[in-house]
Amino acid sequence: MQKALVCFPGAPYTEQAARAAAEAVLEGWEVHTPKYAPADADATPPGYDAYIVDYDLLPFDNLAQQNALCSSYYIRKALIRKHHLAQALHMFGVKRGMPVDVIPRTWTLDVQFADELDELLADELYDVRDALIANESSKNPTWFILKPGMADQGNGIQLFSSLERLQQIFEDMEDASDEEDNEETTYASHLRHFVIQKYLVPPLLVAPSEGGPRKFHLRAYVTCVGGLSVYLHDDMLALFASVPYSAPSEDGDLQGHLSNTCLGEREAQARGVAVFPNVFRLRDLLGKEISTPGSPAITMSQMHLDAIHTGAVSAIGTVFEAVAREASVHWQMWPNAFEIFGVDLMVTADASLTPESLHVWLLEINAQPDFKQSGEALRKTIELVFQRSLELGVLRPASPWSKGESHDGVTCCFSEEMVKDP
């Protein structure tokens, strides 16, 4: 009898969903979850045919010898670190002689002290500098967003449209480096790798419930298998900002702009304002009012939803292919591995709001996504993600899927054998 180990210590929501999926999908298998989790990968018991466990518990040194399946790739930082991802997309576009318009225009920088900025702005970031100088006399300034390359949950993110504000951001980080009572700024101040991205406008806004039109991003769950098939779970989630959208400003208020659930709840609680429901299934937005800033609202149609899905498939396929081809050192694919990634996407539109005007952008890729942020109401959705992932990653399809092919709520975004079986 084949055996599967399921273990996600400290993440009961994830462990319960993974175990329920394994018991439903792996017929004839023995599914085991230890009463006491292993302390580390060295303590993970051998002898299982599939390891569906936390990354830190995967015994990678022994997996190849066992020829066992595992639920994570060993090295995948080219996907999950923003500066590596941006560099891979840049190289992919350069080699093909065309821009890759599936992520916002991005600049990478290594900086720890504010006085290093001047040299960077005169060299690698000269076009950012020129745009910021042009903003001084513009009624419609270009906005940028600064993100720490390795941060999560919205930590360290800042908006800026002037040289003075950018300089102030890094000076504030420097000043906060010794303040242990401020977790967010302390965390950001110890980072060297950052990305600057052009702020995407105009965002597609939706009024999902009370509170007016809000900015949102899509959380898509993507399963990668072997080396390499990439599958989108079609039932995407829409995560909303905690307050209605307003134009960006230099006051540092990010509530209307960032749709990270952790950040939105923290900001709202700190300010003592109401928190509106902020996690929905994308398909449940059918019939809701959509708009762009300053445009009249219309109703979200099935054609809009279909256009978003098509754009998501294209963006995800392009990004994962680019990283696989251009950053294989930092994403080492292995035939026996599979992994669920949380992919964040954003939709922009023009004032016409036609389905054809919608553009889907990939913002970032997250390993070991925090499934519990979906909440109890969406537990069945998450269990289905695990079920389909185990069918694809453990049982494996009888024949390869082609790009765009869909079955049972999953669509293939990319499929090409890029590594040989051991």
Decide: 86 and 338 in contact? Cβ < 8 Å. no
CA–CA separation, 348 and 366 (whole Å): 21
Q: Which pLDDT does position 275 carry in this prediction?
A: 59
Q: What is the pTM of this model?
A: 0.92
Kindly tell me if the per-residue pLDDT of 26 is higher than 80: yes
CB atoms within 10 A of CB 30: 12
Six-digit token string for 247: 């134009």
Amino acid at 271: R
CB-based burial of residue 1 (10 Å sphere; 0-12 exposed, 13-18 middle, 19+ buried)? exposed
Q: How many helices (H) and strands (E) does the chain have?
A: 11, 19
CB atoms within 10 A of CB 200: 19
* 409 secondary structure, DSSP code: T
Q: Span 380-388, mean pLDDT?
A: 97
* Residue 419 Rama label (left phi>0; alpha psi -120 to 50; beta): beta
Residues in the chain: 422
To the nearest 10°, the Cα dihedral for 252, 253, 256, 260? 80
pLDDT one-digit tens code per residue, 257-297: 888 765 555 555 555 555 567 899 999 999 999 999 999 99
CB-based burial of residue 33 (10 Å sphere; 0-12 exposed, 13-18 middle, 19+ buried)? middle
For residue 186, name the pLDDT band (cuts at 50, 70, 90). Answer: very low
CA–CA separation, 395 and 393 (whole Å): 6
Measured at the CA of 359, the angle between CA 94 and CA 136, to 5 degrees, comes to 75
Six-digit token string for 159: 């908006």
DSSP letter string over 190-218?
T--EEEEEEPP-SBPEEE-STTS-EEEEE
pLDDT one-digit tens code per residue, 98-154: 888 999 999 999 887 888 999 999 999 999 999 999 999 999 999 999 998 776 666
Decide: 162 and 132 in contact? Cβ < 8 Å. yes
